[in-house]
Amino acid sequence: MTLAAPAGAAVVFSSDFETPAYAGAGYHLVNSVQGWGLSAGPSIEVQHNNVAGLSHSGVQHVELDSTGNSAMSRVIGAGDYTLSFWYSPRPGVPLLSNLIEVLLDGTLIGSAAAAGQGQTVWTQQVLNFSLAGPAVLEFRAGGTQDSLGGYLDDIELSTAAVPEPASWALLLAGFALMGNAMRRRRVAIAFA
């Protein structure tokens, strides 16, 4: 019998919002960025170089409440997935303005919201889901429309790790050996 390690998760896409690179501190209003397209609202805001808080990694991140609540989306295929993204409330902005929602074909599957402090506070959010067919994955601003909203950075979609068939065989063989050992074990009975 040969041994095999579990199949690793494969990255479907990763968005760090570092391209295109923008110079100086500021923001750009765009209709698409790194495979994400504007699906609702006026625009996707790419903030850069600490214009209103540090990015999780690099120098650029996204806000979805530019001049009004917006959403960005992309189509993904069937499969078992793990979605990971980093969220931060905008510094100095109340919780009600910082809500970010995650949707699959218009159905809410997750959200993140917090009151903003003096600087960005990034937390990783992880969602697992399965799709039988293609679906629209969407991030949208769900808070107060006031041009101040929550931040997104380092979004990654991966296929879920699945054990290789040899790993299952090894696991079953281990259970069989344990069962055999338990059956053969002698029991000593002592009488007083």
Quote the pTM value.
0.79
Q: List, for residues 66-124, the tens digit of each pLDDT value.
A: 899 999 999 999 999 999 999 999 999 999 999 999 999 999 999 999 999 999 999 99
pLDDT at 166: 58
Residue whose tokens read 């990015």:
55
What is the CATH topology of the domain spanning 11-163?
Jelly Rolls (2.60.120)
pLDDT at 99: 98
Q: How far apart are CA 144 and CA 141, in angstroms?
A: 8
Pairing of strands 107-112, 36-40: unpaired
pLDDT at 54: 93
Which of left, alpha, beta for 40 (phi over 0: left; psi -120 to 50: alpha)? beta
Q: Is residue 4 scored above 50 in pLDDT?
A: no
Which residue from 151, 138, 147 is spatially nearest to 61, judged by alpha carbons? Answer: 151
Q: List, for residues 115-157, the tens digit of each pLDDT value.
A: 999 999 999 999 999 999 999 999 999 999 999 999 999 999 9
Domain map (residue ranges) of the chain: 11-163
pLDDT at 183: 58
Q: Is residue 24 scored above 50 in pLDDT?
A: yes
Give the range among 18-27, 32-41, 182-191 with minimum mean pLDDT: 182-191
Confidence of residue 160 (pLDDT cuts 50, 70, 90): confident
Q: Is residue 173 scored above 70 in pLDDT?
A: no
Q: How far apart are CA 159 and CA 40, in angstroms?
A: 27
**Total H helices, total E strands in the chain:** 1, 13
pLDDT at 129: 97
pLDDT at 154: 98
Taking a C-beta distance cutoff of 8 angstroms, is the pair 141, 69 a contact? yes
pLDDT at 158: 98
